[in-house]
Copies of this chain bind each other. A is one copy, B any other.
Amino acid sequence: MLIVKKFGGSSVANKERIFNVANRCIEDYKAGHDVVVVLSAMGDTTDDLIALAHTIDSNPKKRELDMLLTTGEQVSVALMAMAMQSLDVPAVSLNAFQVQMHSTARYGAARFKRIDTDRIRHELDSRKIVIVTGFQGINKYDDITTLGRGGSDTTAVALAAVLHADRCEIFTDVDGVYTADPRVVKNAMKLDEVTYDEMLELASLGAKVLHNRSVEMAKKYGVELVVRSSLNRSEGTVIKEKAKMEKMLITGVAADTNTARISVIGVEDKPGTAFRIFHTLAKNSINVDIILQSVGRDGTKDISFTVSEDDLQNALDILEEHKETLTIQQITCNPHVAKISVIGAGMMSNPGVAARMFESLYNSRININMISTSEIRITVLVDEKDVDKAMNAVHDGFIMTE
């Protein structure tokens, strides 16, 4: 069996943790498996290097920043190889040049284009554990790129895909994927399995276990992922195309407080108005999420939508600038809102999920501002102050009653 195992920065933050990781990998190796390990930089190394760069230039060129940051993973893989060798297990560390991990040219946010497998295969064939730098690639100029935050997960999934690995394990500091954030919802439960689509909805709604890009790539190439803890032996959560038959209606409940509502009041009620507003925002790289349009009256209508809080001021400025051409009479906003979502592939074949969610919220006297749905998700907008209460109400309304 070929297993790709990815460990984040906190899992290799010091000597003890490095040997802990080394031993877990060696177990699989001694069981006869081929093992490829993907590592992030130790602990806070990446942040420390960014801070170091900022002492030189507050806005360093991304090419040079990538050249700097990628040293972090190279340190991790070299130390891990030493640790395994000191335990008398053959191991070899490889960086993006050595593997030939080809990426797009864009520094700081590159994407993999093609990964050569010759070198890794050669090392596996000589029965070595292969330790690869996460987070980095090389572009067509032969320069080092980074994949952006969460990039090491993507490296692991990409390697699992090209090597046709039997398993790709993402080790983290939580036991797996939960039905809700355990710090907020006291009854949150660990899930044994979720589908790629459920995981994508969960991740995009603030469940920070896995980066969306890595889940998308896993889905595209059919790589079965396991999210598990580097600190204990818990089985973790399997992420795959179809989860088991007897599954819960709802996989999880997620909250996102990094959201703000904008309302544009009294715009002309004729075709193309909404398009022009959202086209103007999109041109300026502002992602709009839930949209609610009132019924027209007196030849005008009101449109409300949500953006991330980071984009709020920018969005308001742009709307103000184009107020005349977009026929907006008034702009209002509320940054103190939060999204609560229930996610589950099971709801596709089960009507009444929305009703049950609204009932749970009503029973807890929580007001719903806006509603948005996808095939496997229902999202409502509530006041930010109600978010914890709403999470618990919705979670227990679904998960605990099944």
Contacts and interface: CB of A to CB of B under 8 A. Distances in A.
B82 A60 contact: yes
B53 A65 contact: no
Contacts of A56: 15, 18, 79, 82-83, 86
Contact of A65 (B49, B71, B78): B78
A258 B30 CA distance: 48
A86 B57 contact: yes
Q: Is chain A's interface secondary structure helix, strand, loop, or mixed overall?
A: helix
- Counting contact residues on chain A (CB < 8 A from B), the size range is 35 or more
B82 A61 contact: yes
B98 A82 contact: no
A362 interface: no
Contact of A93 (B67, B81, B119, B142): B67
A262 to B, nearest CB: 36
A44 interface: no
B77 A74 contact: no
A52 interface: yes
Interface string A92-103: 110101100000
Contacts of A142: 97-98, 119
A53 B79 contact: yes
Nearest to A15: B55
Contacts of A68: 74-75, 78-79, 82
A93 B69 CA distance: 13
B77 A93 contact: no
A85 interface: yes
B71 A67 contact: no
B75 A60 contact: no
A143 interface: yes
A70 to B, nearest CB: 8
A27 interface: no
Number of chain copies forming the complex: 2
B64 A93 contact: yes
Nearest to A93: B67
B67 A85 contact: no
A61 B79 contact: no
Interface in A124-143: 142-143
Contacts of A79: 52-53, 56, 64, 68
Interface string A33-63: 0000000000000000100110111001101
Contacts of A65: 78, 82
Contacts of A55: 15
B67 A53 contact: no
Contacts of A143: 98
Nearest to A56: B82
B75 A61 contact: no
A300 to B, nearest CB: 50
Given A79-B68, A142-B97, A61 B85 contact: yes
A99 B71 CA distance: 17
16 contacts: A49-B75, A53-B78, A53-B82, A56-B82, A57-B82, A60-B85, A60-B86, A64-B78, A64-B85, A67-B93, A68-B74, A68-B78, A71-B71, A74-B74, A97-B142, A98-B142
The 6 closest A-B pairs by CB, nearest first: A68-B78, A71-B71, A57-B86, A67-B78, A97-B97, A60-B82
Interface of A: 15, 18, 49, 52-53, 55-57, 60-61, 63-65, 67-68, 70-71, 74-75, 77-79, 81-83, 85-86, 92-93, 95, 97-98, 119, 142-143
Given A57-B82, A71-B78, A74-B74, 11 more contacts: A53-B78, A56-B83, A57-B85, A61-B85, A64-B85, A65-B82, A67-B77, A68-B79, A70-B74, A98-B142, A119-B142
